A and B are shown apart, each in its own frame.
Chain A
Amino acid sequence: MIRLLPVLAAALVAVPVAAQDVAEDELTNCVGPEERQVCKDADGNEVIVAQETRAYVEPPRSRPIPSEPMAPMDHCAMGHLPPEQCPLRDEHADHAAMDHSAMDHSGHAMPQDKSAPGAVPETAVPQRAFDGPRHAADAIWGADAMAPARTALARENGGMQVGMVMLERLEARIPTEGGSEGYLWDAQAFYGGDINRLVIKTEGEGEFGGGIEDAEIQALYSRAIGPFFDLQAGVRFDPEPDTRSHAVIGVQGLAPYMFELDAALFLSDRGDITARIEAEYDQRITQRLILQPRIEAELSAQSIPERGLGAGFTKVEPGLRLRYEIEREFAPYIGIEYEAKTGETADIARAAGEDPDGIKLLIGLRAWF
Chain B
Amino acid sequence: MPLIPSRRGFITSTVGLAAAAALPMPAWARGGSFDHARNGFGELSGEDINLSIGNAHFMTGGRSGHAFAVNGTVPGPLLRLKEGQNVRLHVTNNLDEDSSIHWHGLLLPFQFDGVPGVSFPGIKPGETFTYEFPIRQNGTYWWHSHSGLQEQAGHYGPIIIESADPDPRYDRDYVVLLSEFTPIHPHEIMRKLKVGEHFFQRQMQTMREGEMPGSERRMWGQMRMNPRDIADVTGATYTYLINGHGPADNLQLEFRPGERVRLRVINGSAMTFFNVRIPGVPMTVIQADGQDVAEVEVDEFQIGVAETYDVIVAPSDGSHAIVAEAMDRSGMGVASLTSHKGHIATPPPLRKIPTLTMADMGMMDHAAMGHGGHDMGGDGGGDMGGMQHNMRDTSLLPDDVKVGPGIDMVAPSPMDRMDFPGLGLDDVPHRVLRYTDLKAKRMNPHRMVEREMEIHLTGNMERYMWSFDGRKFTSVTDDPIRFGYDERVRVKLVNQTMMAHPIHLHGHFFELVNGADHMHQPLKHTVVVQPGGTATFDLTANEPGDWAFHCHMLYHMHAGMMQVVTVRPFPEGEGA
Residues of chain A at the chain B interface (Cβ within 8 Å): 7, 10, 14, 17-18, 21-22, 24-27, 39, 41-43, 45, 47, 49, 53-54, 56-61, 76-79, 82-83, 86, 105-112, 114-116, 118-122, 124-137, 139-141, 145-146, 148-160, 162-164, 194-195, 224-228, 254-258, 283-287, 328, 368
Contact = CB atoms under 8 A, between A and B. Distances in A.
A227 B408 contact: yes
Interface residues of B, number: 113
A49 B477 CA distance: 41
Given A140-B574, A194-B405, A227-B392, A26 B486 contact: no
A53 B559 CA distance: 40
28 contacts: A56-B542, A79-B445, A83-B519, A107-B516, A108-B419, A110-B436, A110-B515, A116-B448, A118-B449, A119-B490, A128-B484, A129-B568, A130-B482, A131-B569, A136-B568, A150-B118, A153-B117, A154-B477, A157-B472, A162-B194, A162-B195, A163-B191, A226-B405, A227-B407, A228-B462, A287-B202, A287-B204, A328-B197
A157 B195 contact: no
Contact of B566 (A60, A122, A129, A148): A129
A25 B517 CA distance: 8
Q: Which of A7, A24, A131, A164 has the most CB of B within 10 A?
A: A131
Contacts of B474: 154-155, 157-159
A125 B482 contact: yes
Q: Which of A10, A118, A159, A163 has the most CB of B within 10 A?
A: A159
Contact of A111 (B194, B199, B392, B416): B416
A107 B514 contact: yes
B195 A139 contact: no
A139 B562 contact: no
A284 B206 contact: yes
A255 B223 CA distance: 9
Contacts of B482: 125, 129-130
A154 B575 CA distance: 25
B490 A140 contact: no
B202 to A, nearest CB: 5
A110 B405 CA distance: 35
A153 to B, nearest CB: 3
A195 B474 CA distance: 13
A258 B221 contact: yes
B515 A10 contact: no
B570 interface: yes
Given A129-B487, A149-B116, A119 B451 contact: yes
Contact of A162 (B191, B223, B434): B191
B450 interface: yes
B224 interface: yes
B406 interface: yes
Contacts of A27: 443, 519
Given A45-B294, A108-B419, 9 more contacts: A21-B446, A79-B488, A116-B490, A140-B575, A149-B120, A149-B121, A194-B405, A227-B460, A228-B462
B447 A79 contact: yes
B485 to A, nearest CB: 5
Contacts of B441: 45
B233 interface: no
Nearest to B438: A107
Those 4 A-B pairs whose CB atoms lie nearest each other, nearest first? A158-B560, A107-B515, A153-B117, A132-B570
Interface of B: 98, 110-111, 115-122, 147-148, 190-191, 194-195, 197-199, 202-208, 218, 221-224, 294, 369-370, 392, 400, 404-408, 415-416, 418-419, 434, 436, 439, 441-443, 445-454, 460, 462-463, 465, 467, 472-475, 477-478, 482-488, 490, 492, 513-520, 534, 536, 540, 542, 544-546, 550, 557-560, 562, 566-572, 574-576
A106 B438 CA distance: 10
B409 to A, nearest CB: 8
Contacts of B120: 137, 140-141, 146, 149
B517 A112 contact: no
B255 to A, nearest CB: 28
Contacts of A122: 400, 451-454
B575 A26 contact: no
Contacts of A112: 416, 513, 515
A155 B116 CA distance: 12
Contacts of B110: 136-137
Nearest to B572: A60
Given A24-B518, A57-B542, A119-B490, A17 B448 contact: yes
Contacts of B202: 287
Contact of A47 (B442, B450, B465, B571): B442
B318 to A, nearest CB: 33
Nearest to B517: A24
Nearest to B442: A47
A194 B490 contact: no
A125 B450 CA distance: 10
Given A139-B570, A194-B405, A254 B415 contact: no
Given A114-B513, A227-B392, A136 B446 contact: no
B451 A145 contact: no
A227 B404 CA distance: 7
Nearest to B191: A162
B443 A49 contact: yes
Nearest to A18: B448
A110 B117 CA distance: 42
Contacts of B550: 157
Contact of A368 (B195, B519, B545): B195
Contacts of A39: 443
B252 to A, nearest CB: 34
Given A122-B454, A153-B117, A328-B199, A129 B448 contact: no
Contacts of B448: 14, 17-18, 21, 77-79, 116, 118
Contacts of B560: 157-159
A14 B490 CA distance: 14
Contact of B419 (A21, A58, A109, A149): A109
Contacts of B559: 157-158, 160
A213 to B, nearest CB: 31
A155 B463 CA distance: 18
Contacts of B558: 156-158, 160
A114 B485 contact: no
B207 A285 contact: yes
A270 B574 CA distance: 71
Nearest to B518: A24
B121 A148 contact: yes
Contact of A285 (B98, B208, B452, B475): B208
Given A21-B518, A122-B454, A162-B194, A137 B118 contact: yes
A141 B446 contact: no
Given A122-B453, A194-B463, A60 B513 contact: no
Contacts of A114: 416, 490, 492, 513, 534, 536
A314 B542 CA distance: 70
B514 to A, nearest CB: 6
A67 B574 CA distance: 29
B467 to A, nearest CB: 7
A107 B559 CA distance: 35
A194 B406 CA distance: 8
A333 B230 CA distance: 29
Contacts of B454: 122
Contact of A227 (B462, B467, B490): B462
Contact of B117 (A54, A109, A154): A154
A58 B486 CA distance: 7
